[in-house]
Structure 1
Amino acid sequence: MKFSVFQLSRQGGRATNEDRMGYAYTRDACLFVLADGMGGHPQGEVAAQIAIQTAAVKFQNEARPMLPDVGAFLTSVVMVAHEQILRYAAARGMADAPRTTLAVAVVQDGQVRWVHCGDSRVYLVRNSKLLARTRDHSYRELRDAMGTADAVNRNVLFTCLGSPARPMYDVSNAMTLDSGDRVMLCSDGLWDALDDKAIVRVLSHQRVSQAVPTLVDMALRKAGGNSDNVTAVAMQWETPGIPDATEGEAVDTGIDDTFASTIQTDEFETGDNFLDEEAIERSIAEINETIRRTAARKAQG
């Protein structure tokens, strides 16, 4: 498989950045994941980190090098992540568990499928058109779908991971990717500031290494001092001219024993070290360096 990928998270006007994102891949499968810890509940960053770690651990264990059932994997990620968050809260005697949204996309056999819970979105863009995007599990999206004019708060979700109720989620059908297609996962800090037309326009006319920073900066500027945290990870499928792509952006997974990930996968029960921001950044940097060296060896060979 050949694709380009870029990820970025920027803190807005919030006290902390509770967004988490990352990606992983084997020779024959790719995983992209994003979670947005929810304010109004304790330790949203914990819930988000547990969610993306759950996805990464399950992917590493099950993609050998392909996932046997992508739909079952996506469903399982949501439910296992939810259970892990509840376990974390119960072990610490927390009256209110941490909560998070979750969006997960898998590319395999030239097709993409995704699952989402909450209002972190997945976009699929082709030939300057929005081919598909997730529908938020929010009362505003529900109101719009029903065509009513009732006033609702955009931020109020009717499902998430970590709540007492079993989470609701949607799993997409498989969609075959064409060369140049873009898939982006983003938090509400991005899409709430920018409409779909602006997002599609930027994604369509820039490489993902340029489009993601452009969209993040646009969202932060438009929202101003009240901006939410803004996070996105985007992939461009079978990029034309990929050998000339920006270093660290292009990925060719054609190695038998390939596995790489930008998601730290410490065990949840071993303590809170996995939440340390510096440790997360070091882990991502080390993995990216390994990816770069692997690509360099292939180019020389």
Structure 2
Amino acid sequence: MATAQEPLHPPPPLPPPAMATARDRLAGFAAGIASGATKLLVGHPFDTVKVRCQIEGGHGRFRGPIDCIVRTIRQEGPRALYKGASAPLIGWSVMDAVQLGSLSNYRLLLQRHDKARRLTHLEHALAGLGAGWTVALVASPVEITKMRLQMQYVSGADRQYRGPLDVARHLTRAYGPLGLWHGLHATMAQRSFFFFLWGSYDVYSEWLRSLRLPDSRRIPEHLVNFLAGGMAANTFWTLCYPVDVVKNRYMNQPDPSPISFVRMFAHVRRTEGLRGFFRGFVPSFIRSFPTNASAILVWESTMRLIKGEERH
């Protein structure tokens, strides 16, 4: 006798995707402010030495980064290492808010707003590229203002610029209403290397999470953020440094700029050789690990705090 067939049960429905919330979209911007302030405190003295060595070139007043530090402190005092810091004090916080906020949102876009989907290394790199181009709109006026102030070696009435607003007035007179964005294309070229910064950060993070301590415990997430951030920053600066030198030389020329950004590459090569593309590399390389490792650690930790998450 035929038996009644068991009724077929349809498979349980798949859980809905973990959709991004407004908090997820805004968290990166808020955490970026804390990251920018950290970057300024740790990194600005190194940045001053880097910029002075880059722009002075091989025939300038310094024999190298150590000589630059010693002579700067001796002739201008320790506070001179923070010259031009007033613009980045606000600017770097805004820049990191824009960079890291847009990075978070580009990641969500590539995740198709399903925040549970893991991105590939390439997708992380593409999100970094988008963030780099986006933040260039904010970075360009901040960096040209900072550099013009950093390159002043005198004080008092002999100064060319009295402060950030004076730099802004000068650039507006020289280049028109968009004078503060003089060199935007050069800044975008340099920020394109964020492709490698955030792509390598994901690679280094994945590798560090796969390691085990002697007692078989995983490396704490905060240490993963710090180490991966520092290694990614070193990777970024190693690859983009020649472009950064040319960008800074171009943006710090007497106004109006006599040499274009593209021709500046040939100018540096002709006048200083290949070594000219790596002026100030040592302080920049040394600076990049602690500065960016600290900033990324603060950013990731603040992101977890805002979202109410904690990874061990």
TM-score range, shorter chain: under 0.3
Normalized per residue, the structure richer in helix is 2
After TM superposition, the score normalised by the length of structure 1 is 0.28
Normalized per residue, the structure richer in strand is 1
After TM superposition, the score normalised by the length of structure 2 is 0.27
